[in-house]
Structures are given as C-alpha cells and as structure tokens.
Structure 1
Amino acid sequence: MRIYMQTLHAPEQPLRYYHLHLQPDLLGGWNLVRESGIQGARGQVTKEHFEDREAAERTLIKRRDMQLKRGYRVVFREGIPYESSN
C-alpha cells in the first residue's frame, strides 16, 4: 500500500512531497513509513509500528487526509482506493 503526494507548483515555493507506505515486518506486524521533504533533496523518514494491518491502514488514511488539508495532492496511489474526506 503506497501513496505519494506533492504540493502544487508555485514559482516562489519549492515543490514538496509526502510519501506514505505500509510494509509487513518479519514478526507479523506492520510498519507505516513516512517520508517527506523538498523534491530532489534528501527527505526525512519516520517509521511507526503496528500490531495489525487495520490499525496501520487507519493511520495511513488519517495522515493522508491531514496532508490533503495542507494543500498536497495525490500523485500516485497503489493498493487502496482513493477516498477524499473533503
């Protein structure tokens, strides 16, 4: 499951990205990996661990919705249908 988002292009602002994806771990849990930063530069990576997939998916959707409210738009998604809360 993967979602890649970017801000809209504006000449005075650098293009920013926000990447969310879920990864299964070796012990049956799930990791939500978040990467964000300026396009073309090294980004910041954060990982959250979850015991079950449903909790990880809920958090992924919550994070996606937060970024949509901040002006990001979905550029690429894989593994889940797109649902906007707006």
Structure 2
Amino acid sequence: MRVFLQQRPETGEAPRYIQLTLQPDLFGGWELLRESGQIGGRAQLKREQYLLQSEADAAFEKARDTHLKRGYQITFTQGAPQP
C-alpha cells in the first residue's frame, strides 16, 4: 500500500510531501516507511516494524489521517482506497 501526499507551497517555496508505504518484510512482519521533505530537496526516511498486519494498517491510517488534518492532499494512491 502506498500513498503520496503534498502540501500547498507558500509563495516561492517548493511543495512539501510525505509518502507512506506499507509492505511486508522478509520475516513475516510489516514495515511502514515514511519519506518526507521538499520536492527537489532533502528527504528524511523513517522506518517502523510491526508484527501484525492489523497494527501496521492502523499505524498507516493514523499517519495518513494526521497529515490530511495538517493540510496535505492525497495526490497518488496505490493498493488502497482513499478515505
């Protein structure tokens, strides 16, 4: 599952983004990747491990909803319906 969110840029700034990716790992668990930064600039990658898919799904949805409340807009989704 993957979702790409962007925030409207201020005048003269590059837009900020966050990409959330939920994928299975090699050991039967789940991995939530959060990549964020400015388009064309530096990015930061955070990784969280989960044993159960339900916990990983809940964390993915919570992160997505938090950023939607902060003014980000969904621009691309893959593998999951939009809220």
Q: Please give the TM-score of this superposition, normalised by the length of structure 2.
A: 0.93
What residue in structure 1 maps to residue 6 of structure 2? 6
Superposed counterparts of 1:3-82, under 5 Å: 3-82=3-82
Cα distance in 2 for residues equivalent to 1:13 and 1:5: 16
Does the 8 Å CA contact 2:15/2:39 hold for their aligned counterparts?
yes
Deviates most, 22-31 or 5-14? 5-14
Given residue 37 of structure 2, which amino acid in structure 1 is its aligned partner? G
Q: Percent identity?
A: 42
Q: CA RMSD in A?
A: 1.1
Cα distance in 1 for residues equivalent to 2:69 and 2:14: 18
Cα distance in 1 for residues equivalent to 2:52 and 2:37: 28
Q: Please give the TM-score of this superposition, normalised by the length of structure 1.
A: 0.90
How far the C-alpha of 1:80 sits from its partner, in A, is: 1.0
Note the residue ranges of structure 1 that are not aligned, 5 or more in a row: none
How far the C-alpha of 1:8 sits from its partner, in A, is: 1.4
- Residues matched between the structures, number: 83
Cα distance in 2 for residues equivalent to 1:9 and 1:44: 18
Cα distance in 1 for residues equivalent to 2:25 and 2:35: 18
Given residue 77 of structure 1, which amino acid in structure 2 is its aligned partner? T
